[in-house]
Amino acid sequence: NDLERLATAVRDADTAVAFTGAGISAPSGVPTFRGDDGVWEQFDQGQFAYGRFQRDPEGFWADRVDLQRAMFDGDFEPNAAHEALAAMGRDGHLEAVLTQNTDGLHGDAAAAVGDGDAGDADGDPAATAADEPTVLELHGNSQRVRCTDCGKRKDGDPIFERAADGELPPTCECGGVFKPDVVLFGEQLPGAVLQRSRSLARESDAFLAIGSSLVVEPAASLPRLAASTGGTVGIVNLESTPCDDVADAVVREDVTEALPRLRELIVE
């Protein structure tokens, strides 16, 4: 079946790459963007554009506090799908995780695998971060803010709290305005990260697009790029996507079921 085909492709690949979207974090309680329960049903995307931030930082931050609450309320933790990818990386089966998500959960899962006392796949307890896959955050990280003047990055929670308490917009010691450390609409993706993602897609012998609607760039073109250089492309999604036609395998399942099984098939 398709999952077995993917497992074989990943096991045989010199370079296997995972590309993830909001669907991988949905089972952790982080809402997706599109679909009936998506945040873009509840909020107007246009209010979170870079132009608005520049024009009206006060209004932008007031709305962003609400968006942040809607997306990241309470505790949220990596789920079995994040953990399976981290473990695949740890086992040496995954070169990189490229993500559009800004929740930081891939990093958390990788750190948890690194801290675990189980050791690596060969039972080597000394295996460390060196074995972990690279996590490339294409859209930045919502758990941080960055000063638009001095460039300093800070943990986002206390800054979002200050904004919620009425400091609009919140500012840095240097007097500069903080911006969530994410790529806003109308803003360029970080060039180096984008370039690296494109080369990884091109290089990959196995490319897995997981839990993304694959409608915005560069998500929409990376699977095609991987396919164009002969890589095996797999898609894991509850729904169909506009890239299903280039996929060698389409797994229409919940990520928390598909990915742990994929990992088991790979190590079998």
Residues forming contacts to ligand OAD in the complex (CB under 6 A) are 21-23, 26-27, 32-35, 38, 100, 139, 183, 211-213, 216, 219, 237-239, 254-255
Q: Which is nearer to ligand OAD, 121 or 194 (CB)?
A: 194
Are the beta carbons of 56 and 64 closer than 8 angstroms?
A: no
With a CB cutoff of 8 Å and minimum separation 6, the contacts of 110 are 86, 89, 129, 132, 133, 135
Q: How many whole angstroms separate alpha carbon 169 and alpha carbon 173?
A: 13
Report strand pairing: 232-236 vs 16-20: unpaired
Task: Examine the residue annotation and report whether 139 is marked as an active-site residue of this protein.
Answer: yes
Give the bridge partners for 147, in sequence order.
178
Give the bridge partners for 123, in sequence order.
none
Q: Which is nearer to ligand OAD, 100 or 143 (CB)?
A: 100
DSSP state of 26: G
Residues labelled catalytic: 139
